[in-house]
Amino acid sequence: MSKLSQKTAIVTGGGKGIGQAISRRFALEGANIAIWDQDMESAEATVGEIKSSGGSAVPIACDVSDPQSIEAALATTKDTFSLPSILVNNAGIAHVGTATNTSEEDFDRIMKVNAKGAFLCLRAILPAMAENGGGSVLNLASIASKLGISERFVYSASKGAILAMTLSVAKDFIEQGIRCNCVCPGRVHTPFVDGFLKEYYPGEQERTDKFKELSEYQPIGRMGKPEEVANLATFLCSDEASFITGGVYDIDGGTMNLR
């Protein structure tokens, strides 16, 4: 497995969930992984797993909504490995609410991390990637960027921004050898799902019933696995996808087209 041999990959929010799965898979494919995360306990644990399997990774504390934190993380990445060849904009937070019951504070908080955070990472890392002769950007959007989902108002808005950024970056940086694509996962079983169920469905049977309902929403009959998103991410960030840029890829168990 050497699709990403010797490439330096930055994975924001790479300590758990989909980001963790991408970090693990990229490391198996030979990449040097810089996990940028605020949750250093998770980042360090994931780096430990990668190293124990013979991979190369480093945990770097980073708040993607803070330009200075990003610059410091980028400097550490360069000093530890090299100029980046891959950026995975994965860091993000979720919110449950409609246009009328979402507070202004929550709107700003979600957009600051999900949309502005991706922008700030792009602004800092694209010049370094160009200096390195090009590379690949993968943004984590969501089917919520294209499909009406109940009570996901600001989350959907933030992921719609990610989709639009993907197309703009692909257009603006193609001559610098930089490809930019995004994936739109459907419901994937991550710690967020478990936390959501625990918070909003406190009873054990209630949680079991809701988990079944959430799973069966996908025509394929289950939620996705983080590793399945990582499989697609690996292809899109590898040289095997060298003719692909500006792409928007659903990975959703048939939700977009079969419901």
Per the structure, how many domains does the chain have? 1
Question: Does 198 reside within a domain?
Answer: no
Question: Does 195 reside within a domain?
Answer: no
The predicted pLDDT at position 39 comes to 97
Question: Does 72 reside within a domain?
Answer: yes
pTM to 2 decimals? 0.97
Cβ burial of 165 (10 Å; 0-12, 13-18, 19+) is: buried
- Measure the CA–CA gap between 164 and 145, rounded to whole angstroms: 9
Distances (CA, A) of 226 to 76, 90, 128, 202, 204: 27, 12, 28, 25, 24
CATH for 237: 3.40.50.720
The predicted pLDDT at position 191 comes to 87
Distances (CA, A) of 144 to 46, 47, 105, 154, 223: 28, 30, 21, 10, 15
Both tokens of 32, joined, read 């040097």
Question: Does 203 reside within a domain?
Answer: no
Adjacency order of strands within the sheet including 8-12: 56-61, 32-37, 8-12, 86-89, 135-140, 178-185, 248-251
Cβ count near 256 (within 10 Å)? 15
Active site positions, annotated: 155
- Which residue, 90, 168, 174, 162, is CA-closest to 136? 174
Question: Does 219 reside within a domain?
Answer: no
Question: Does 60 reside within a domain?
Answer: yes
The predicted pLDDT at position 195 comes to 87
The predicted pLDDT at position 132 comes to 97
The predicted pLDDT at position 200 comes to 83
Q: Each residue's pLDDT tens digit in the chain (259 positions)?
A: 799 999 999 999 999 999 999 999 999 999 999 999 999 999 999 999 999 999 999 999 999 999 999 999 999 999 999 999 999 999 999 999 999 999 999 999 999 999 999 999 999 999 999 999 999 999 999 999 999 999 999 999 999 999 999 999 999 999 999 999 999 999 999 988 898 898 889 899 999 999 999 999 999 999 999 999 999 999 999 999 999 999 999 999 999 999 8
Cβ count near 122 (within 10 Å)? 21
What is the phi/psi pair of residue 218, to 5°? Answer: -75, 130
What's the domain range around 240? 8-184+226-258
Question: Does 114 reside within a domain?
Answer: yes
Both tokens of 247, joined, read 């792409």
Question: Does 217 reside within a domain?
Answer: no
The predicted pLDDT at position 138 comes to 99
